[in-house]
Amino acid sequence: MTIISRWLAVVFVLVTLQAFADDATDAFQQVVNQYRASNPKPVMPEVARKYKVQAEFSVQEKRFDQAIELYGQSLEIAPWLAECHYALALVFAEKKQYRNAIREMKRDLLLAPEAPEARAAQDKIYQWESVVEPEAGKTFKDCTDCPEMVEIPAGSFAMGSNRGEEDEKPLHNVTISQPFAIGRTEVTQAQWQLLMNTNPSYFVDCGDNCPVEQVSWNDVQDFIKKLNAKTGKQYRLPSEAEWEYACRAGKEQEYCGSDIADKVSWNGYNSGSFFFKKTHPVAKKDANSFGLFDMSGNVWEWVADDYHDSYNGAPADGSVWLNGSMHVLRGGSWGYDQPFSRAAARSKFGGNYRYYSYGFRLARKLP
């Protein structure tokens, strides 16, 4: 039993370090690295101890704002004090500042992954993640090679257009009741290559940071399965409503982030000469208000929904709409005229079809 317990403890330490290394800022990661490398470990300076003791008393007196300030002063002097990060996390939680609480508890685990309270610290993070409110535009990555994701808050919007094509009608209200995350950019060739060990793209010479293309809807499902197995998360394609909600980002604009197509999209008018149009590296045009790039243009993006020729009967809750024979693509591409990059524009094709202007971006559940 002792051997098993030790083995489980080692597994927990390794998982903890992997999970939180990417979340730490470069500056704090340097603190962690220096602390781990030090031998002997540094002693708590007396002035840092003073602030720590005063903070503990402030907590007893329920003066939480004062405690936060005092723990902060202690950590300015000795940022490697894991116990202060742990205590500060608990104070932030008392103030219902769960995002700050999670940050400090993760720092505690980075500094002291084998501490007796490490299991309790991890459990606290799990608890706080279930109630933390998303921060619109906040980015995160689940692993070094994972796509960068952006938090999208819940909300309502008017989907479609009564001035566009018939399949964009009728304009209808949709409520996204649960926050979610969506890719800051389209999935790139490098991200596909690292996970799938292949690069199906036609525009390979465009480079690692260009969107992967020539992937079918079914190919994307294989990518998602592998990514979920690697990360333990629930990645997926966004629903069509989630995609348009993220594209519009609370604005009433013709394209995803602007009324001027060329500001936010690579399209058939600006992606090259008449005979040599192509994809371009992601995130080179302007982002929309959620911090998302290339939702208009560059490559068409598969979404989870099946295609229907109008929005009559569409779900009002933003969920995936199935029971069709083809899948929806959104956003236009490098080879299509500007109107195809409009926020409301839609396209469709079969699940096995690959084309050099078809790519995707991911979504996933929060937390």
- Judge whether 123 lies within some domain: yes
Is-contact 214 279, C-beta < 8 A?
Answer: no
Per the structure, the complete domain to which residue 315 belongs is given by 139-365
- Judge whether 25 lies within some domain: yes
The CATH number covering residue 108 comes to 1.25.40.10
Q: Provide the number of structural domains found in the chain.
A: 2
- Distance, in Å, from the CA atom of 207 to the CA atom of 183, rounded to the nearest integer, reads 19
- Distance, in Å, from the CA atom of 33 to the CA atom of 110, rounded to the nearest integer, reads 10
324 in the same domain as 199: yes
- Judge whether 134 lies within some domain: no
C-alpha 309, offset from chain centre: 31
Pick from 74, 106, 129: which residue ends a domain?
129
| Torsion region of 318: left, alpha or beta (phi above 0 gives left; psi -120 to 50 gives alpha) | left
The model's pTM is 0.72
| Whole-Å CA distances, 25 to 21, 32, 103, 104, 233 | 9, 11, 10, 12, 22
Report pLDDT for 134: 75
List the beta bridge partners of residue 181: 151, 364
69 in the same domain as 95: yes
The CATH number covering residue 155 comes to 3.90.1580.10
The type of residue at 162 is: N
Report pLDDT for 20: 47
65 in the same domain as 24: yes
Is-contact 58 70, C-beta < 8 A?
Answer: yes
Number of Cα atoms under 13 Å in the Cβ half of residue 228: 14
Pick from 95, 129, 163: which residue ends a domain?
129
DSSP per-residue letters across 105-144: HHHHHHH-TTSTTHHHHHHHHHHHHTTPPP-TT-EE-SST
- Judge whether 83 lies within some domain: yes
Q: Which residues of the chain have pLDDT under 70?
A: 1-26
343 in the same domain as 323: yes
Report pLDDT for 366: 87
70 in the same domain as 182: no
Find where tokens 């936060």 sit. 68
- Judge whether 81 lies within some domain: yes
192 in the same domain as 319: yes
Report pLDDT for 274: 78
